[in-house]
Amino acid sequence: MIQFEQTFMNFLLHHQEKYGRTYHFLILMDALVSAGKYIQHYYLTGALKGHLGRAGDINVQGEEVMQMDQIAHEITLHYLRNSGRVIHAVSEESEEIIQINPDGRYFVYFDPMDGSSNIPHGLPIGFLFGIAKRNLEGPEDGHLRAGKDYIAAGMFVIPTGTFTLGLKEAGTYQFHIDETMNFVRPRQVMLPQDPKTWELSFNAANRYTYDERIQRWITENERKYAFRYLGALAGDFHRLLNNGGMFMYPAIVNHPNPKKNRPEGKLRLMYEASVVAFICREAGGMAVDETGTPILEIQPRKHHQRSALYVGSKTLVEEIATILKKSG
Ligand code: FDP
């Protein structure tokens, strides 16, 4: 018996109709989903083509390998340009802000290949993006948007073939890629309330470099939860959304080699932390930085700004925020 599935595009068309929205967003989303599929394809075949190597690697033909993160960046830019809807884009792979179309309607902030340590092994990586809309009431100054001003944020887990999309005040949905390369079977995701399935996710090797208050919290609470860490934000966050708990990448402030401290955190605010914070809010959770400030409230000062991140089930993140707000 054939099982007919609802496609992502069909889901989105109905969403736009229900909320009386324009077709412009559909065109932009079509571009991002096309990019997601192409990146998926290149990643799946990357080992055979020698694309999963490290920078400067030479393939069997003696040519310098084009790196997967660069390929993913080029693919995404191609589709964003083609959509005609994007004013400018910020990409992890480009030092400068990429000006595209002054008459566009949206700003797109993206990381086309997140979780680089997994690339040489073909293990899951992420393609993350946040979308904000231009000022439609008056002149647009192109300033960088805070997460609270995003209208949508999404995450492809590649090559697993899952796509998660948070839509402003309308929820978070997950889709799976099918044999025809369509994302299908929308399912609304809410973080589970019951702590039974909750997990903690952080790089345990960094544990003794965290602020003492965070170290203490870990010692007092870790036995209550299972521990999981893949080393790619998209994969770790995907688990978290379904199981609940907390992912954290705290500031590094007690490294034995002070030069290796990262008081601002490691993850990027605009296309990593704010993306998962937005998706999480739409799924009933929250996210804060090292000062306990909600990630979505942080106004970026620069496009590659870093931030510490605590994201997940509200009660856990609120507990951490209370600790972080008290002076050390
Ligand atoms: P990566 O450096 O491997 O690209 O921000 C990038 C990121 O991966 C996240 O995807 C991931 O959660 C984190 O950094 C992993 O960092 P550690 O290797 O320090 O744990």
**Are 102 and 87 within 8 A, CB to CB?**
yes
Beta strands in the chain (DSSP E): 86-91, 98-99, 106-114, 125-133, 150-158, 162-167, 171-177, 183-188, 199-201, 226-227, 245-249, 267-268, 286-288, 306-307, 309-312
Angle between helices 68-83 and 24-49 (to 10 degrees): 160
List, for residues 155-209, the tens digit of each pLDDT value: 999 999 999 999 999 999 999 999 989 999 999 999 999 999 999 999 999 999 9
**Atom number, ligand 1, closest to the C-alpha of residue 125:** 10
CATH tag for 195-325 (out of 3.40.1500.10, 3.40.190.80, 3.90.320.10, 3.40.50.300):
3.40.190.80
Angle between helices 233-243 and 274-282 (to 10 degrees): 20
Higher pLDDT, 49 or 69: 69
**How far is C-alpha 293 from the geometric centre of its chain's CA atoms?**
19
pTM of the full structure: 0.94
Q: Say how many Å lie between the CA of residue 28 and the centre of ligand 1.
A: 27
- What percent of the chain stands above pLDDT 90? 85
Q: Say how many Å lie between the CA of residue 282 and the centre of ligand 1.
A: 24
Ligand 1, atom 16, residue with closest C-alpha = 231
pLDDT confidence of 290, banded at 50, 70, 90? Answer: very high
Residues 6+ apart with CB under 8 A from 101: 81, 84, 85, 86, 87
**Atom number, ligand 1, closest to the C-alpha of residue 203:** 20
Q: What is the mean pLDDT of residues 41-58?
A: 74
Q: Say how many Å lie between the CA of residue 82 and the centre of ligand 1.
A: 30
For residue 320, how many other CB atoms are within 10 A of its CB? Answer: 22
Element (H, E) at 83: helix 68-83
Does the pLDDT of residue 328 top 90, yes or no? Answer: no
CATH tag for 8-189 (out of 3.40.50.1970, 3.30.540.10, 3.30.300.30, 2.40.110.10):
3.30.540.10
Q: Say how many Å lie between the CA of residue 227 and the centre of ligand 1.
A: 17
pLDDT confidence of 63, banded at 50, 70, 90? Answer: low
Nearest to 310 by CA among 230, 200, 208: 200
Pocket of ligand 1 (CB under 6 A): 114-117, 203, 231-233, 266-267, 272
Ligand 1, atom 15, residue with closest C-alpha = 231
- Please report, for the chain, the start and end positions of each structural domain, with discontinuous segments joined by +: 8-189, 195-325
**Atom number, ligand 1, closest to the C-alpha of residue 117:** 3
Q: Say how many Å lie between the CA of residue 212 and the centre of ligand 1.
A: 22
Average pLDDT across the chain, whole number: 93
Give the C-alpha separation, 168 to 105, whole Å.
17
Q: Say how many Å lie between the CA of residue 249 and the centre of ligand 1.
A: 9
